[in-house]
Chain A
Amino acid sequence: MKLNWQFILDSLPLYRDAAWITLKLGFWGILFSLAIGLICIIAQYFRVKLLRSIVQVYIELSRNTPLLIQLFFLYFGLTKLGIALSENTCAIIGLSFLGGSYMAEAFRSGLEAVSRSQIESGLSIGLSRAQLVRYVILPQAFSVGIPSIGANCIFLLKETSIVGAIAVVDLMNVTKDLIGMYYQTFEALFMLVAVYLIMILPLSIFLTWLERKVRYAEFGNQGSV
């Protein structure tokens, strides 16, 4: 299979711009997801019955429906109701809506991993609630939660491939256009795969390394060495 390298070279700027948009959308999606996840976790912590129920419903809804439908609903559905949003805004909202529940779950699993006995241990040396959170709970929750959070980030970045469906000028649409216009199918597809590889592979490797580094919480308190 011979690839038209000249074409690939010529198409680089298009792919670069599209990749940039993908990364930007992914970045904001991840940021807002973390924020939403944090809000969820705080709402659950304060044990206000109503808040907790709302958060529960939100998490179940966003985790059990596909991003595509969420995007269509936002972009096409809301427009008909009079609320018109740009495609990029919709993309970020959609990603954040989906990602928020995943992050909330990651935070929750991190916090739950800190055992009751650890908390009692901290209490027994007179730590206040705030000190308990800061010195005992958060560090351990963080190390347990980081792999999940990292995985969620990669997941969200991959999900950005879907936003093309609502007319965002992303990698998928660039590829589709190039195939449609120039029939350089293999070249376009090659670029598509290559760009995603370049974007995500380093993150994946970094995440694996990070997981290994923060593994101490698993082995810290278990019996003799």
Chain B
Amino acid sequence: MEQIGVLIVNRKTNEVLLEVEGLHKKYDGITVLEDINLSINKGEVVVILGPSGCGKSTLLRCLNGLEKIQGGDIRFHGKSIVSKDVNWQEIRQRIGMVFQNYELFPHMTVIENIILGPVKVQKRNKSEVLEQARQLLDRVGLLDRQNSYPRQLSGGQKQRIAIVRALCMNPEIMLFDEVTASLDPEMVREVLDVILGLAKQGITMLIVTHEMSFARAVADRIVFIDEAKICEITDSHEFFTKPKTERAQHFLNIFQY
């Protein structure tokens, strides 16, 4: 393993999980995403960077069917998922998503939040799910909070639980939408550590973040989006030392003092 935060090399496999081709998205007449082409292999960690408002979060939401696209194609395991008769309910079980505002269900305890999906949607055996849920909670250090309500927890704790909730569905790919943006600085680290742990396990992830050193540490590839278009897609260590485009360099300079 190298220093400078490059974790594990050669995690990426050859199996293509998600493909985006020529994606166009308009919002209120304004083009938010234009001609997006991207493919994600199993085991990869791809981080999406870019200035605010450039469409990063929107891209993620399109991949999960939360936003409709006006052009292009998204393919999951080779099958297009943009047609009208696509069963999003089924796909969303295999694509996990964690939101910036955690969005745990306030009227359920932590453990209830976690097992709701696996038990009611995937119809798995409750005791088996409970077992997995507890293991995951233990892994993020929150097993003792399994019966608490979200309002009794800190932001960092809620976010870690949101991650566990998504993981318990055994998704094939995890989407992270600026998951530390709402957190107080002291709590950012505990969440990022969890994500780093997942990367070590080889979980396929697509992450939108502002945390530069974290991106550097966890990513295999960087997708840099500026003004609705993909500026460049570069291997992580190359991006941070010598990006291909000037705009990317300009962006990185913002974070240097």
Interface residues of A (CB under 8 A from B): 117-118, 120-128, 131, 135-136, 139-140, 143, 216-217, 219-225
Contact call B107/A131, Cβ cutoff below 8 A: no
Restricting to B145-171, which residues have a CB under 8 Å from any CB of A?
Answer: 149-156, 165-166, 169
Contact call B150/A126, Cβ cutoff below 8 A: no
Residue of B nearest to A121 (CB): B103
Contacts of A117 in B (CB 8 A): 99, 101, 103
Residue of B nearest to A127 (CB): B121
Whole-angstrom distance from the CB of B56 to the nearest CB of chain A?
17
| B135 in contact (CB, < 8 A) | no
Contacts of A223 in B (CB 8 A): 155, 182
Contact call B92/A121, Cβ cutoff below 8 A: no
Residue of B nearest to A138 (CB): B107
Whole-angstrom distance from the CB of A171 to the nearest CB of chain B?
40
Contacts of B150 in A (CB 8 A): 220-221
User: With A and B bound together, what is the CA distance between A119 and B148 in angstroms?
Assistant: 22
Residue of A nearest to B183 (CB): A224
A-B contact pairs, 20 of them (CB 8 A): A117-B101, A123-B92, A124-B92, A125-B93, A125-B96, A126-B90, A126-B169, A127-B117, A131-B120, A136-B105, A139-B107, A216-B107, A216-B149, A216-B151, A220-B104, A220-B150, A221-B106, A221-B150, A224-B156, A225-B153
Residue of A nearest to B102 (CB): A221
| B231 in contact (CB, < 8 A) | no
Contact with A along B20-36 (1 / 0, CB 8 A): 00000000000000000
Contact call B107/A125, Cβ cutoff below 8 A: no
Known: A124-B96, A125-B116. 7 other contacts (CB 8 A): A123-B88, A124-B64, A125-B169, A126-B93, A126-B117, A127-B121, A128-B121
User: With A and B bound together, what is the CA distance between A151 and B59 in angstroms?
Assistant: 45
Of the listed residues B93, B102, B105, B152, the one surrounded by the most CB atoms of chain A closer than 10 A to its CB is B105
Interface range on chain B (Cβ under 8 Å from partner): 35 or more
Whole-angstrom distance from the CB of A216 to the nearest CB of chain B?
6
Contact with A along B200-221 (1 / 0, CB 8 A): 0000000000000000000000
| B66 in contact (CB, < 8 A) | yes
| Given A125-B165, A126-B121, A216-B106; A225-B152 close (CB under 8 Å) | yes
Residue of B nearest to A219 (CB): B151
User: With A and B bound together, what is the CA distance between A138 and B145 in angstroms?
Assistant: 25
| Given A125-B117, A131-B121; A217-B107 close (CB under 8 Å) | yes
Of the listed residues B99, B101, B169, the one surrounded by the most CB atoms of chain A closer than 10 A to its CB is B101
User: With A and B bound together, what is the CA distance between A126 and B124 in angstroms?
Assistant: 14
User: With A and B bound together, what is the CA distance between A136 and B102 in angstroms?
Assistant: 15
Contact call B107/A140, Cβ cutoff below 8 A: yes
Contact call A224/B151, Cβ cutoff below 8 A: no
The one of A123, A127, A220, A225 that contacts B106, using a Cβ cutoff of 8 Å: A220
Whole-angstrom distance from the CB of A168 to the nearest CB of chain B?
42
Contact call B122/A224, Cβ cutoff below 8 A: no
Contact call A135/B105, Cβ cutoff below 8 A: yes
User: With A and B bound together, what is the CA distance between A216 and B120 in angstroms?
Assistant: 24
Contacts of B7 in A (CB 8 A): none
User: With A and B bound together, what is the CA distance between A124 and B96 in angstroms?
Assistant: 7
| B187 in contact (CB, < 8 A) | yes
The one of B66, B121, B153, B156 that contacts A125, using a Cβ cutoff of 8 Å: B121
User: With A and B bound together, what is the CA distance between A223 and B152 in angstroms?
Assistant: 10
Closest 7 CB pairs of A and B: A220-B106, A125-B117, A121-B103, A126-B93, A224-B155, A124-B97, A126-B121
